Amino acid sequence: MIRAETIIYLDDVTVDYDGFKALSGLNFYMDRKELRVVIGPNGAGKTTLLDVISGRVRPATGRVIFGHHTDLTHLAENEIAELGIGRKFQTPSVFVNLTVRDNVELSLRRASKGVLATLLERGDTTDERRRIGDTLERVGLAAKGGVMAGALSHGEKQWLEIGMVMAQDPELLLVDEPVAGMTDDETARTGELLSAIAADRSVLVIEHDMEFVRQIARKVTVLHQGAVLCEGPVEQVQNDPRVLEVYLGQRHAAGGAEHAVR
């Protein structure tokens, strides 16, 4: 199953929350430089999928293989981050009492992020300054480098966090509902940003907004009850009878889900 171009491979992964199987025997893989969107009704296990990959949740069974042979299931979150997996959370999580520039500076990929190394650092090198500048430029915050991150708007915080994850120079980006609460204009710009990032990295996006999914997606995976229901191009998935049933069947239970697939 593991091919040369596979970046992440989940093999028969089960996550059990006191009897509730958030993921049950999930098999999932993604190629390098792929932009994948994962959709699914509430409780399908979308965020748990990201939790498992990023080390927040340990699966009860199964393997999570990053690259060729690195098993992630026994590593801590920060170790996984250093391996090259970046995660953007659903609600913006930035350092509100630091400047926008410092937020990116702290996120930069470095040889060591230990206490001693950060205590004894002697300022940014020219290369690091360039990388910080490039990142801010890319997420459209170059003019706001000196501003406290707490003073940014909701959309800008989301972009800053995407920038912070990019600064980690990850091979794989995990992005959880990036456009929730954004204006149409902001949503469109976020779509462009993610598509551009996917030119040289793998990006895994969880999203509810089908408009947005159509804008960015090449391949869509539908999760249902902790397993893959179907996978394919967005048009095909949208017309799949099983997908329609899953969403429509949830009409009464979960108010927000049924309009997602339309």
Partner 1 sequence: MPRRELLGLGALAVLLVVVLPVCNVAPPETAFHVSNFTLNLFGKFLTYAILALGLDLLWGYAGVLSLGHGVFFGLGAYAMGMHLMLEIGTKSVYQTALPDFMVWNRVTELPFFWKPFHHAWFALLAIVAVPAIVAMVFGFLAFRSRIRGVYFSIITQAFALCAWLIFNRNEMNLGGTNGLADFKTIFGFPLGRPSTQRGLYVVTALTLVGAYVLCRWITRSRAGKVLVAIRDSETRVLFSGYSPVNYKLFVFVVSAALAGVAGALYAPQVGIITPARIGVLPSIEMVVWVAAGGRGTLLGAVLGAFGVNWIQSWLTTSYPDLWLLFLGALFMGVVLFFPDGVLGAAQRLVGRLSRLSPRARTTPPLPSDEPQKINQSA
* Other Cβ atoms closer than 10 A to 25: 15
86 binds partner 1 (CB under 8 A): yes
Stretch binding partner 1 (CB under 8 A), from 32-40, 101-109, 186-194, 236-244: 101-109
What 8-state DSSP symbol labels residue 99?
Answer: B
219 binds partner 1 (CB under 8 A): no
Q: Site map for partner 1, 143-182, x if CB under 8 A? A: -----x-x----------x--x---x--------------
Q: Using CB under 8 A, which of 67, 90, 98, 134 touches partner 1?
A: 98
2 binds partner 1 (CB under 8 A): no
What 8-state DSSP symbol labels residue 243?
Answer: H
* Alpha-carbon span 48 to 50, nearest angstrom: 5
120 binds partner 1 (CB under 8 A): yes
Residue type, 125: T
Stretch binding partner 1 (CB under 8 A), from 57-65, 98-106, 206-214, 229-237: 98-106
Distance of closest approach, residue 27 Cβ to partner 1, in angstroms: 25
Distance of closest approach, residue 109 Cβ to partner 1, in angstroms: 8
For the residues of 24-69, what is the DSSP string, one character each? EEEEEEEETT-EEEEE-STTSSHHHHHHHHHTSS--SEEEEEETTT
4 binds partner 1 (CB under 8 A): no
107 binds partner 1 (CB under 8 A): yes
Distance of closest approach, residue 209 Cβ to partner 1, in angstroms: 24
Give me the sign of the Cα torsion angle 111, 113, 117, 123. positive
Closest alpha carbon to 100 in 134, 150, 28, 41? 150
Q: Using CB under 8 A, which of 81, 173, 194, 223 touches partner 1?
A: 81
Residue type, 88: K
Cβ–Cβ < 8 Å for 68, 5? no
Stretch binding partner 1 (CB under 8 A), from 60-68, 84-92, 183-191, 219-227: 84-92
Report CA dihedral (189, 192, 198, 199) to the nearest 10 degrees. -140
* Alpha-carbon span 133 to 62, nearest angstrom: 41
Distance of closest approach, residue 54 Cβ to partner 1, in angstroms: 7
* Alpha-carbon span 103 to 151, nearest angstrom: 13
Residues found near partner 1 in the complex (CB under 8 A): 54, 76-78, 81-82, 86-87, 89, 93-98, 102, 105-107, 109-110, 113-115, 118-121, 148, 150, 161, 164, 168
